[in-house]
Chain A
Amino acid sequence: KQEVTQIPAALSVPEGENLVLNCSFTDSAIYNLQWFRQDPGKGLTSLLLIQSSQREQTSGRLNASLDKSSGRSTLYIAASQPGDSATYLCAVMNSGGSNYKLTFGKGTLLTVNP
């Protein structure tokens, strides 16, 4: 059974700081890994999707890396802004027989202070 762990559970940083969120997973037989953002009272927004054959993906100030063999991913946020405050969720896609299933971590609650 796939298990996804995110560290830290919560993080508070001053504006402008670079930061790293960590994600680990127990079953390395994944199709892809995704990072989502969740704002209070809202659904999830996909930030980055890394295919199992890729090592990293970048979007603006966000960079996600994947080390499939060690079961780890990191989300790097450069020059953090108060608008980045949200919960960041890591999810891995596995085959569940005839379908593909996402397993989520519990998330990291990020607060960026002005």
Chain B
Amino acid sequence: EAGVAQSPRYKIIEKRQSVAFWCNPISGHATLYWYQQILGQGPKLLIQFQNNGVVDDSQLPKDRFSAERLKGVDSTLKIQPAKLEDSAVYLCASSPRGWPQETQYFGPGTRLLVL
């Protein structure tokens, strides 16, 4: 079974530029998560989708971050404009139904550096 796929793996941009990350969850998983992991910190949930609907985006900086999950499969996370403090690893995860007893399966992450 293929795991969670993410691209690109690395991205370097200048501040105020825009950037987009892509995630393909495990086939059949209804729930998709985007996390931000700043160096030396644990991952922080940015947004959670159930199929193509948003369940929780309370920690998403909505003035600059946006995310969508069209057709309830792939997802993109966009930052526009980027700030220096957005430098982090962006992790995508998925789970079958989003139930609390389920394990979340993580992708390798996209490492973003904002200069």
Contacts and interface: CB of A to CB of B under 8 A. Distances in A.
Would you call the interface of chain A mostly helix, strand, loop, or mixed? strand
A34 B99 contact: no
Contact of B104 (A4, A31, A46, A107): A46
A55 B32 CA distance: 29
B100 A44 contact: no
Contacts of B91: 43-44
B100 A100 contact: yes
B98 A99 contact: yes
Interface of A: 4, 31-32, 34, 36, 41-46, 49, 51, 89, 91, 93, 95-107
A101 B41 CA distance: 17
Contacts of B104: 46, 102
A53 to B, nearest CB: 11
Interface string B2-44: 0010000000000000000000000000000000000011111
A30 B44 CA distance: 17
B48 interface: yes
Nearest to A4: B42
B48 A99 contact: yes
For the complex of A and B, the 6 pairs showing the least CB-CB separation, nearest first, are A104-B42, A43-B106, A31-B100, A100-B100, A44-B106, A99-B55
B109 A43 contact: yes
A34 B42 CA distance: 13
B108 A101 contact: no
Contact of B42 (A41, A91, A100): A91
Given A41-B108, A42-B109, A31 B101 contact: yes
Contact of B55 (A34, A49, A89, A98): A98
Contacts of A51: 101
A28 B41 CA distance: 22
A101 B45 contact: yes
B103 A46 contact: yes
Contacts of B43: 44, 89, 102, 104
A84 to B, nearest CB: 19
Given A96-B56, A103-B42, 16 more contacts: A32-B100, A34-B103, A36-B106, A41-B111, A42-B108, A43-B106, A43-B109, A46-B103, A49-B103, A93-B100, A99-B55, A100-B98, A100-B99, A102-B43, A104-B44, A107-B42
